Amino acid sequence: MLYSYRLLAAALLMVWSVCATAQTHSRTLPDRMYADSAYAPFLFGVASGDPAQTRVIIWTRAEVAGPLRWQVAQDSAFTHILRSGMTYCTAARDYTTQVDVDGLLPTHHYYYRFTTASGQNSQTGRALTLPDNSVRHFRLALVSCSGAWSGYFNAYRRIAQRDDIDYLVHVGDYIYDDVDPDEHVRMPDPEPQNPSTLAEWRDRHLYYLLDPDLRQARQNKTWIAEWDNHDNHYSNFEHNADGLTAFYEYLPIRMPDTTHPEYIFRRFQFGALADLHMIDMYLFRGREDFAAGKKSILGNVQDAWFKHSLAQSTTTWHLLGNQEMLGSWLSKGIPSSMHPPGDGTYFNPQDWDGYADDRLRFYQYLDTAHIHNLVTLTGDLHMSFIIDLAPDPRDRKTYKRCTGRGSVGVEVLTPSITAGNMDEEHIPRAFIPLFQRISLDLNPHHRWVQFWKHGYTIIDVTPERCVAQFCYLDILHYSDRETYSRPFVVRTGADHWDRKKYKKRDFR
C-alpha cells in the first residue's frame, strides 16, 4: 500500500530519524491473544453477517469434524427457539461453517448458538436483521485497517459494548498479510511471514481470532464486510485465489454469485430509509476500458450493476461502502523542485485519483440521473477525512468552498482500528497539525482531517440527516478510554457537509 502520510512527509521534505523497532515478545503469543478454551471445541467464537429483512448468516468454527446443531431463539436462554437445523464442519472449509438462516422478522435481535453431537455449546451470538419500511433511525460502526500486531483492538471491544450500534461495516484490510516494521506492538514469536498458500491464509485468520476483542465484536454485532489489498492477493481471476477463499470461509458473507466468487459487490436495504452498496474497486481497477483508452475502476459488469441499482433505488439515503478514497486528494501547488510523490496532481494515483476520468463519469451520472444523498463510507488511509465530492474542487465557479454548493455527495473516511499513520512514522505530534493545515489548504473540498488518531466512526441515519462522528481509542495499551470528534452532518438534499460546527454531544 502507498501510505499517504509518508507521501506528505516526502512532499514537504521533512525527515525524522526513526525510533528503533520495539523488541518482539519472547512469548509464543503476545498480550491478549488466546483461544476461547472455555467453549472448546469452539475456540474461535461465533459471528453473524450479511443481514436481510428476513434472514442472516451465522458462522462458527469447530476443532472437530462432523455435524453441528444450530439454533436461533428469541431469548438468550433459548427457551423460545424459532429456527434450528444441522450443519457440518469439514476439512474442505477448514472446519468453518455458516448457515443462511431464513424465516426471520425485520429489525429483530436474535440469539444463536451451535452444539456438537456430544452436547458442547458454542458461545451465544446476537444477530440483527435489517429493518422494514417503518425504520426512522439506525446506526452503523464504520471500521477499516485492523492490524493485529499494530496495537490493541480496543475499538472492536468498545463497538461490541455499545448497545446503540446496530451493525458493523468493515471496508477492508480486516487482516494484514505483512508486518510493518514500525508497528511491533503485539508481536508473536516467531514473527509472522506473508501468507502465500491457502493454509497460510487460513492460519492468518485463525491468528486474528485469538483476539478476544475481535471475537466479542463478531459475537455481538452483525457484520457487513469486504476485502482490500491486505486481505488477499487475488492478482487475476484464474489463479492466486487463496486469500479470497479464506476470506469467504472466515467471515459470514453470502457469496453474491457462486459462479464468480470474485464478485463481492452487493446491496443491503434498510427499509425505505437507506440502502448500502458495497462495491469493490480493488480487484477490478484498471482491468477494463469503459471507453477507448479510458480505464475503468469498477469494471464494466460492476459499474453497470451499481448504476442500475442506484437508478432503481427509492430510499432516502444511498450509502456507499468503498475501500479507498473516492474524493480527490490534490497535491498540485507543491513545487516540483520538492519532488512531491504521485503524478504532480494527486498524492496517490493508485486509488480513485488514478482513474479521474471514470470518477468524473460517475459524478456526471449522479447529476444527470438526479441521484442525491450519497454518503461514501471509506477506509484504507488510516486517517480521518470529511470530504465534499466536488468534480472540480478548485474551480470556484462550480464549487463553493464556503457553502458546499457544487458537491454531488459526501465522503467520510474512517481511521484505522490500529494500523499505522503519522504517529507510527515517529513524526512529532507538534508537526502533524502543520501537515493537516497544508492538506486542507490544497484541498478546498476537504472539510476536516485528523492524521494520527485511531478508532472507528459512527454513522447515524435518520430521514432528515446523516451524521458522522469519529471515536478514538488508544492502541498501545489495553484501555476503554474513548474520545470523540465533533459531529459532521449532511442534510437531506444538500449533497454537501453542513457548515455549522456542532458540539460533540449534539447527536449522542
What are the E-state strand segments in 235-379?
266-270, 274-278, 289-291, 294-295, 317-322, 374-378
What would the grid cell of residue 279 be? 462495491
Say how many domains are in the chain: 1
> According to the model, what pLDDT value does residue 236 have?
59
Residue 498 within any structural domain of the chain:
no
Q: Which of 428, 468, 472 is nearest to 450 (CA)?
A: 472
Distance, CA of 172 to CA of 182 (rounded, Å): 21
Chain centroid offset of residue 40 CA: 30
How buried is 286 (Cβ within 10 angstroms: 0-12 exposed, 13-18 middle, 19+ buried)?
A: middle
Q: What is the pLDDT of residue 297?
A: 97
Indicate which CATH number applies to the domain containing 216: 3.60.21.70
Q: pLDDT at position 80, please?
A: 97
Q: Which residues pair with 470 in a beta bridge?
A: 457
Q: Are 24 and 189 in contact (CB under 8 A)?
A: yes
Three-state secondary-structure class, residue 461: strand
Q: Which residue ranges in the chain fall short of pLDDT 70? A: 1-27, 235-239, 338
In what helix (H) or strand (E) does residue 82 lie, and over which residues does it extend? strand 81-89
CA-to-CA separations, 251 to 50, 181, 227, in angstroms, rounded: 10, 27, 10
**Integer angstrom CA distances of residue 195 from 177, 325, 378, 478:** 6, 26, 26, 28
Is residue 4 classed as helix, strand or coil in its secondary structure? helix
Residue with cell 431469548: 75
Determine, yes or no, domain membership for 346.
yes
Q: How many residues does the chain have?
A: 508
**What DSSP state is assigned to residue 348?**
-
Alpha-helical (H) ranges within 58-176 are 154-161
Under 8 Å between Cβ of 410 and 497: yes
Position 218 in a domain:
yes
**Distance between CA atoms of 132 and 269, rounded to whole angstroms?**
9
123, 42 contact by CB (below 8 A): yes
Asked, for residue 496, whether it belongs to a domain, the answer is no
What would the pLDDT profile of 206-236 be if each residue is shown by its tens digit? 999 999 999 999 999 999 999 999 998 876 5
Contact in structure between 139 and 164 (CB atoms under 8 Å): yes
Tell me the per-residue pLDDT of 247-299, one tens digit each, with 9 for 90 and over: 999 999 999 999 999 999 999 999 999 999 999 999 999 999 999 999 999 99
Q: What is the pLDDT of residue 501?
A: 94
Torsion angles phi and psi, residue 245, rounded to 5: -60, -45
Helix axes 154-161, 212-220, angle to 10 degrees: 30
Q: What is the domain range of residue 230?
A: 4-14+35-491
- pLDDT recorded at residue 342: 79
How many C-beta atoms lie closer than 10 Å to residue 408's C-beta? 20
Are 459 and 377 in contact, with CB atoms under 8 Å apart?
Answer: yes
Grid cell 506528505 is found at 8
pTM: 0.94
Q: Looking at the domain assignment, is residue 150 inside a domain?
A: yes
Q: What is the pLDDT of residue 505?
A: 84
Residues 455 and 382: their CA atoms lie apart, in Å, by 9
